[in-house]
Amino acid sequence: MTQDERNQLFYSIIRCVPHGRVATYGQIASLAGLPKHARHVGVALRKLPAGARVPWHRIVSSRGEIARRAANSGRDCESEQYGLLLDEGIEFDDNDRICLERYQWKPRGEVRVRG
DNA sequence: AAGTTGACGGATG
DNA sequence: TCATCCGCCAACT
């Protein structure tokens, strides 16, 4: 499996995360059949071309925090992700964290891949 | 070829 | 709950 194939796999799963819900890096990796590859989900998102139809902002850490290092990829993703999630009706607590119990995506049945 | 790095995660104190 | 420390693994140096 090439790096690009792996990235596409992650992207196709991330595209399944519905509006108003979030998923964690580790969750996406597991759904892809690649547990313990949470970091590579981040790698894939870092390489995501601007304008791709992938809801990258719905991916948060296992603690419900949004990524800060995303600023490395050129633009200020931290505030951008924050705003996009707010637009979807997702609320943050006083520590800028998302309540995963409430907003984490729980896929029903098989996740359709390569759609 | 070997060491470093990273949009991470879980265990531990 | 927060801080730290490891485990992880492929891309990059």
| pLDDT, tens only, A28-52 | 999 999 999 999 999 999 999 888 9
Strand B and A61 CB separated by under 7 Å: yes
Q: How far is CA A64 from the centre of its chain?
A: 11
Whether residue A24 contacts residue A62, with contact meaning beta carbons closer than 8 Å, is answered with yes
Subset of residues 5-64 in chain A with CB less than 7 angstroms from any atom in strand C: 36-40, 43
- Percent pLDDT > 70 in chain A is 90
Nearest nucleotide over every DNA/RNA strand to the A43 CA, judged by C1': B7
Q: Please report the pLDDT score of residue A5 as a whole number.
A: 95
Nearest CA among A36, A110, A45 for reference residue A80: A45
A38 or A114, which is more confident: A38
Q: H-type helices in chain A, by residue range?
A: 3-14, 25-31, 38-46, 77-87, 100-103
List of residues 6+ apart from A49 with CB closer than 8 A? none
